[in-house]
A and B are shown apart, each in its own frame.
Chain A
Amino acid sequence: MSLPRFKLLRPRSVAEAVEHLVNHAGSVRVLAGGTDMIPSMRQKLFEPEYVVDLRGVTALREVKLQADGSVEIGALTTIRTIERSDFLREHYPVLAEAAGTVASPVLRNMGTIGGNICLDTRCLWYNQSLTWRKGCGFCIKKDGDLCHVAPGGTKCWAAFSGDTPPALLCLKAEIEIAGPHGTRRVPLSDFYTGLGDNYRKLQASELVTRVFLPASSKDYRGVYRKLRVRGSIDYPLAGVAVVLKRSNGHVSDARIGITAVNPAPLLVKGASELLSGRAVDEALAEAAGDLAAKISKPLTTSALTPEYRREMIRVFTKRAVLAAAQVNGN
């Protein structure tokens, strides 16, 4: 499968990149690591006239500790860098761990944190070649008007399948978005729409430039657990990040983020209320699992049945809560 024809634009700065986006709005895509976009372009899921290759924008490649104790991560920082960063491993282990589960080593060398945040939602009925999609009559997300996984539905259920966003959500990360009118900062939790097709709140002339981890999240330690068939390469079929903050042997705050079972990565509401002020035990962890399973709505967008994936959100959340308690020295 060949790539569709396009013009490659190679800006050296964010401003230049935004200018390209403005000039070619509607027929332009941003390329960072390319690990997901290039195969998708071959499958003719995207056929932009222009591709803005950000890899020359060197300013976006760093992990920096800010004066206020927060951390700034450039959107082009590779997943590998995050996985290997001693600083992140020490202070934000949940993020480094989640990064370490992304795809395979070679893909982590190429893939970026910005790309993982902006990762297109996935569905077996969508991530296929043009020829294949003709055979199924297309779908709402691309070229069609029906949903195969929710027959009769008019909503797209393609699943958000990034590994790092649930960890970032747990860390209350914010992202910086650059556009023609300058930059804006939004909580990552506000970035996703919950729809499978139009899955993120990003204008055609905008791009994600930085990720910020607030200083206040530094004491939140935890783990990421990922359901996959193979120990490498696979996208998550369900993923759970859990972070806990502790004081006096009890949990003082807790956050649970889930991925790959809804069109957006989600923070589990009520996690803090459930876990705060209590010592973590099997029963409590199980209750947390039930809570997470309740908001997960997997459909037949991937391998393994939806019922199984939802059940695994329950099991993995339970395990992650117990493991996070261990990490925190329970």
Chain B
Amino acid sequence: MTQPTPRSQRPTTDFSIIGKPTAMVDAAEKTTGAGKYTDDLSVPGMLVGKILHSPCPHARIKRIHTSRAEQLEGVVAVVVGKDAPSPYGILPVGHDEHALAVDKVRYVGDNVACVVAISEAIAEEALELIDVDYEVLPAYFDPEESMKASSDLIHDNRPNNLEKDYHHVFGDPDKGFAEADHVAEARFIANEVTHAAMEPHSTLAAFEIDSQTGKPGRLTVWSSTQVPYYLQHKLSLVLEIPMAQIRVIKPLVGGGFGGKSEVIPIEIIAAVAARKAQAPVKITYTREEVFWAHRGRPRTIIDLKTGVKNDGRIIAVKARVVQDGGAYCSYGVVTILYSGALLGALYDIPNIQYDGYRVLTNKPACGAMRGHGTVNVRFAFESQLDELAAKIGMDPAEIRRRNLLQPPCITVNGLRVQSYGLPECIEKTVTRSGWKERKGKLPRGRGLGVACSHYVSGAANSIIRSDMPHSTVNIKIDRDGGVVVYTGASEIGQGSDTMTAQIAAEVLGCSLSRVRVVAADTDLTPIDIGSYSSRVTFMAGNATLRAATEVKKLIVAAAATKMNCQPDDLVFREDAVVSRNGHVGTAAIESLPRAQPRGPAEQSSAATVSGRVEGQILRGSLQQKRKDEGPKDRMTFEEAVVAAIDFHGALTGTGSYAPPAEARGGKHKGAGVGPSPAYSYSAQVAEVSVDEETGEVTVHKVWAAHDCGRALNPVSVEGQIIGSVWMGMGQALTEEMVWKDGMLMNPGLLEYRSPSSIESPEVEPIIVESVDPEGPFGAKECSEGSLAATIPAIANAIYDAVGIRLHESPFTPERVLAALRAKKNAKAINLTEGVDPTSPTRFREHGGSLWFKGKGPERHPLDPSRHEPAGGAD
């Protein structure tokens, strides 16, 4: 302890803030209920908005009669499409949405009009007074049918209702299959799921009155968003006012999972309504409206073919993916590209063919959801890999080990992989779960399954192509020793603010309680493209690191002068600055009082040190004190800050992050999606039991190892792993959006069944740290990558337990039982509406009918709902 360790030899884990379990900086607000979410906010004169939704899946709007609604006492305005006809969309290639329908409605639930009134009840009453004349059109609900359409297209500029298709060939897949010893080929179907974030979307929009014109001027929008800067941009587009006239503030957000990662109709509608009503307007979705706004994971058909050699090496993969994207583009083009791109970067696959089709249908728009684009394909791939392992008689964990990448490398489809903790993830889950000892030896009906997954740590290319940094962070430090970090990154419950504070505190060597994070307010914070694609820790974290390093340089220079030593000799740690070459070693650092959260009393004693008493800066006496003391071996953080301010004036630093050019991918069409500066890796083992009489599946335990580069906040990483597994389990077993001719049968949390605490298995999170060379302190993402492994791990465990391969998710009891009965040649009962869950060919619709002998809702004669019901009544 007497010899200070040179910096280069210091163990990299010698951190004082990061790597330690840290309570979220906003935990107290949330747990006490003091925190404010958008719907908690109100401003004087605020009105309530309610949206009229379409009852038709596809129809032309002939006329909207609003006068009766407008005349209702308490109604201030009725807003319709022509009040803001400019189209928008999250992707530059997909500007196909309007605030409110201009000419057509495209799904049951599409936005037709908005009533602004003094109360919710009056607004709802007024909705019933709006009459809309529709000319119904044939609708499309099945993507494979929709692709055949030649007339009555959902969007006129999208022939065959095809939003986008991509056809990628890497290597020589045909040659690969010819060389394969075993080939498996099958269709997999993953049904539609949604985010089901706890907080429904809410937006409050208020215009300031322009003092010159008396007309609505600057706009302030508070919204439950993951992407405040995209919102600012789209608002500018639709309202046709400059971005600088729009301020977007993100209050606390109660979960996003991708459902708030683009501009949602409510956000535009509230602003348009506030303009027309000339008053602040708040709209909060009902849960049903959240389901209609959707942007979840699309129903996906995956026709997958995989070839392996006898030694388990994957030699070729061919995937044809059809996504039932709903009525608008949303992130669809990105989703279909992720589905293909992330076939690579997990395993070493030399030959890949990918054909992806994003198809429009008359249903709510699908978009980005946790594990964006990768999850359903991963379910298919990891299931098929398990089947191939069984074919060649290889242990399923072993076949995954045989296909590891050798980083640093660039995959056949142009993805750069540097840090790669997958081998360790597999090793640890296999060891902890007792895989070798227990696999195949569990009692009847109980089984183990393994699967792997990966995900990007932020997209290397932003949606809007530019060389602009993806994140910028500013830091300001004042004489009080308080550190304020200004970041555009959006805390949505994932711990973004805490991560920011941790990195700033670690770099500056100050306690966490000194750091205040001001986030996601477009007037105050520098631009950050948002909380999606698991980019925040990597990108905003790096920007924070750089900003803190920059501002620290100023403090270091001042402190070095004061302490009469070289800047390199200074160590900033635990609110103290010490010289490593003086007679004060690291022991002295440890003898310093440990940083504690500061109460008001301590604040004032700290203030005395910095020379501030009751608002007076006693510069003279402080300087006198310094002179008396001469050069010192150590300074407190406040002293160093004061010294720096005396030398440099204001203490500010700024840092930005843009992904390096080498990480931005190949040159082929669609190469922009998939590349990331770093990938996270996950391996999971699930232990399940299956009730062979009922088909009910119970998940007993999941061992989930996740390579997050470095765990900046281990408790938060574990929380994200557990949450991902749990959400994956929901998609694997119970969650499914059920459709009947464009009607969503379960638009609520009673019938859309996210698991309850009773079904939640024990999840053992295992953190693997591969220390990425470019991540902040080596960190990568930890919030999404684990999800995709859970579904196939459970599927493979079901196979291990009872010997059935389910190719359709979720594995509901009826599907499991149908497969079990088929396997046993039991008497056939139609448990699954005629769709064999072990080899599905089409999407299954809910039973029942919208139609009977000309009665029922108004639909076009050619609409699928007009076909005779297949089953009929008992």
- In the assembled complex, the CB of A155 is this many whole angstroms from the nearest CB of chain B, namely 10
Q: Give the chain B neighbours of A128 by CB distance below 8 A.
A: 747
B861 at the interface (CB under 8 A from A): no
Q: In this complex, what residue of B is CB-closest to A138? A: B857
Cβ contact within 8 Å between A151 and B758: no
Q: In this complex, what residue of A is CB-closest to B760? A: A231
Q: Give the chain B neighbours of A3 by CB distance below 8 A.
A: 121
Comparing B436-444, B471-479, B848-856, the segment that makes contact with chain A is: B848-856
A91 at the interface (CB under 8 A from B): no
A59 at the interface (CB under 8 A from B): no
Cβ contact within 8 Å between A308 and B855: no
Comparing B169-177, B260-268, B801-809, B825-833, the segment that makes contact with chain A is: B825-833
B771 at the interface (CB under 8 A from A): no
Q: In this complex, what residue of A is CB-closest to B108? A: A135
Cβ contact within 8 Å between A229 and B758: no
Query: When chains A and B are docked, how far (Å) is the Cα of A61 from the Cα of B56?
Result: 47
Cβ contact within 8 Å between A307 and B758: no
- In the assembled complex, the CB of A268 is this many whole angstroms from the nearest CB of chain B, namely 18
Cβ contact within 8 Å between A308 and B759: no
Cβ contact within 8 Å between A131 and B53: yes
- Do A2 and B756 form a contact, CB below 8 Å, given A124-B745, A131-B288, A308-B831? no
Query: When chains A and B are docked, how far (Å) is the Cα of A2 from the Cα of B119?
Result: 10
Tell which of B746, B829, B847, B857 touches A311, judged by Cβ atoms closer than 8 Å. Answer: B829
Q: Give the chain A neighbours of B759 by CB distance below 8 A.
A: 230-231
Q: Size class of B's contact patch?
A: 35 or more
Q: Give the chain B neighbours of A148 by CB distance below 8 A.
A: 848-850
| A115-150 interface (Cβ within 8 A of B) | 124-125, 128-129, 131-132, 134-137, 145-150
Comparing A177-185, A194-202, A248-256, A296-304, the segment that makes contact with chain B is: A296-304
Cβ contact within 8 Å between B874 and A315: no
Cβ contact within 8 Å between A305 and B286: no
- Do A146 and B743 form a contact, CB below 8 Å, given A231-B758, A232-B758? no
Tell which of B747, B756, B857 touches A230, judged by Cβ atoms closer than 8 Å. Answer: B756
| B801-841 interface (Cβ within 8 A of A) | 812-814, 817, 829-833
Cβ contact within 8 Å between A135 and B847: no
Query: When chains A and B are docked, how far (Å) is the Cα of A322 from the Cα of B734?
Result: 28
- In the assembled complex, the CB of A316 is this many whole angstroms from the nearest CB of chain B, namely 8
Query: When chains A and B are docked, how far (Å) is the Cα of A152 from the Cα of B849?
Result: 10
A9 at the interface (CB under 8 A from B): no
Cβ contact within 8 Å between B850 and A137: yes
A56 at the interface (CB under 8 A from B): no
Cβ contact within 8 Å between B856 and A2: no
Chain A proximity mask over B112-137: 1 for CB below 8 Å, otherwise 0:
00000001110010000000000000
Cβ contact within 8 Å between A136 and B850: yes
Cβ contact within 8 Å between B852 and A152: yes
| From A4, A233, A300, residue with most partner B Cβ within 10 Å | A300
| B212-231 interface (Cβ within 8 A of A) | none
Q: Give the chain B neighbours of A213 by CB distance below 8 A.
A: none
Chain B proximity mask over A80-114: 1 for CB below 8 Å, otherwise 0:
00000000000000000000000010000000000
- In the assembled complex, the CB of B326 is this many whole angstroms from the nearest CB of chain A, namely 16
A67 at the interface (CB under 8 A from B): no
A270 at the interface (CB under 8 A from B): no
- Do A303 and B850 form a contact, CB below 8 Å, given A131-B288, A145-B855, A153-B873? no
- Do A305 and B830 form a contact, CB below 8 Å, given A229-B753, A231-B756, A300-B848? yes
Query: When chains A and B are docked, how far (Å) is the Cα of A306 from the Cα of B831?
Result: 8
- In the assembled complex, the CB of B363 is this many whole angstroms from the nearest CB of chain A, namely 12
Cβ contact within 8 Å between A307 and B829: yes
Tell which of B746, B747, B756, B829 touches A232, judged by Cβ atoms closer than 8 Å. Answer: B756
Q: In this complex, what residue of B is CB-closest to A5? A: B121
B738 at the interface (CB under 8 A from A): yes
Cβ contact within 8 Å between A146 and B856: yes
Tell which of A4, A131, A145, A300 touches B55, judged by Cβ atoms closer than 8 Å. Answer: A131
- Do A135 and B55 form a contact, CB below 8 Å, given A2-B124, A230-B734, A232-B757? yes
Query: When chains A and B are docked, how far (Å) is the Cα of A287 from the Cα of B444?
Result: 26
Cβ contact within 8 Å between A149 and B847: yes
Q: Give the chain A neighbours of B745 by CB distance below 8 A.
A: 124
A1 at the interface (CB under 8 A from B): yes
Cβ contact within 8 Å between B874 and A150: yes
B750 at the interface (CB under 8 A from A): yes
A234 at the interface (CB under 8 A from B): yes
Q: Give the chain B neighbours of A71 by CB distance below 8 A.
A: none
- In the assembled complex, the CB of B532 is this many whole angstroms from the nearest CB of chain A, namely 29
Q: Give the chain B neighbours of A311 by CB distance below 8 A.
A: 817, 829, 831
Q: Give the chain B neighbours of A321 by CB distance below 8 A.
A: none
Q: In this complex, what residue of A is CB-closest to B57? A: A135
Q: In this complex, what residue of B is CB-closest to A303? A: B751
Q: Give the chain A neighbours of B119 by CB distance below 8 A.
A: 2
- In the assembled complex, the CB of A158 is this many whole angstroms from the nearest CB of chain B, namely 12
B431 at the interface (CB under 8 A from A): no
| B230-247 interface (Cβ within 8 A of A) | none
Q: In this complex, what residue of A is CB-closest to B856? A: A137
- Do A137 and B756 form a contact, CB below 8 Å, given A2-B120, A131-B288, A305-B830? no
Q: Give the chain B neighbours of A229 by CB distance below 8 A.
A: 734, 753, 812-813
- Do A152 and B747 form a contact, CB below 8 Å, given A134-B55, A135-B55? no
Q: Give the chain B neighbours of A300 by CB distance below 8 A.
A: 846-848
- Do A137 and B855 form a contact, CB below 8 Å, given A1-B124, A2-B120, A304-B813? yes
Cβ contact within 8 Å between A2 and B121: yes
Tell which of A4, A136, A297, A304 touches B743, judged by Cβ atoms closer than 8 Å. Answer: A136
| B737-769 interface (Cβ within 8 A of A) | 738, 743, 745-747, 750-751, 753, 755-759
Tell which of A132, A134, A299 touches B747, judged by Cβ atoms closer than 8 Å. Answer: A132
Q: Give the chain B neighbours of A52 by CB distance below 8 A.
A: none
Q: In this complex, what residue of A is CB-closest to B873? A: A150
Tell which of A136, A299, A307 touches B873, judged by Cβ atoms closer than 8 Å. Answer: A299
Q: In this complex, what residue of B is CB-closest to A299? A: B874
Query: When chains A and B are docked, how far (Å) is the Cα of A137 from the Cα of B751?
Result: 20
Cβ contact within 8 Å between B814 and A304: yes
Q: Give the chain B neighbours of A150 by CB distance below 8 A.
A: 873-874
Q: Give the chain B neighbours of A104 by CB distance below 8 A.
A: 756
Q: Give the chain B neighbours of A233 by CB distance below 8 A.
A: 750, 756
Q: In this complex, what residue of B is CB-closest to A302? A: B751
- In the assembled complex, the CB of B122 is this many whole angstroms from the nearest CB of chain A, namely 9
- In the assembled complex, the CB of B128 is this many whole angstroms from the nearest CB of chain A, namely 8
Tell which of A132, A152, A297 touches B853, judged by Cβ atoms closer than 8 Å. Answer: A152
- Do A307 and B831 form a contact, CB below 8 Å, given A234-B753, A299-B874, A312-B694? yes
Cβ contact within 8 Å between A135 and B743: yes
Q: Give the chain B neighbours of A134 by CB distance below 8 A.
A: 55, 857
Q: In this complex, what residue of A is CB-closest to B846? A: A300
Query: When chains A and B are docked, how far (Å) is the Cα of A311 from the Cα of B820?
Result: 14
- In the assembled complex, the CB of A105 is this many whole angstroms from the nearest CB of chain B, namely 10
Q: Give the chain A neighbours of B288 by CB distance below 8 A.
A: 1, 129, 131-132
Query: When chains A and B are docked, how far (Å) is the Cα of A148 from the Cα of B750?
Result: 20
Query: When chains A and B are docked, how far (Å) is the Cα of A220 from the Cα of B873?
Result: 37
Q: Give the chain A neighbours of B734 by CB distance below 8 A.
A: 229-230
Q: In this complex, what residue of B is CB-closest to A131? A: B53
Q: Give the chain B neighbours of A125 by CB distance below 8 A.
A: 848
B693 at the interface (CB under 8 A from A): yes
Cβ contact within 8 Å between B852 and A149: no
Q: Give the chain A neighbours of B848 by CB distance below 8 A.
A: 124-125, 148-149, 151, 299-300
Q: Give the chain B neighbours of A146 by CB distance below 8 A.
A: 852, 855-856
Query: When chains A and B are docked, how far (Å) is the Cα of A137 from the Cα of B833?
Result: 24
Q: Give the chain A neighbours of B858 by CB distance below 8 A.
A: 137
Enumerate 9 A-B pairs (CB-CB under 8 Å) in ascending A order: A1-B286, A131-B53, A135-B55, A146-B852, A232-B756, A303-B738, A304-B812, A305-B831, A315-B693
6 additional contacts (CB under 8 A) given A150-B873, A150-B874? A136-B856, A151-B848, A299-B848, A304-B812, A305-B814, A305-B847
B contact residues vs A (CB 8 Å cutoff): 53-56, 108-109, 119-121, 124, 286, 288, 693-695, 734, 738, 743, 745-747, 750-751, 753, 755-759, 812-814, 817, 829-833, 846-853, 855-858, 869, 872-874
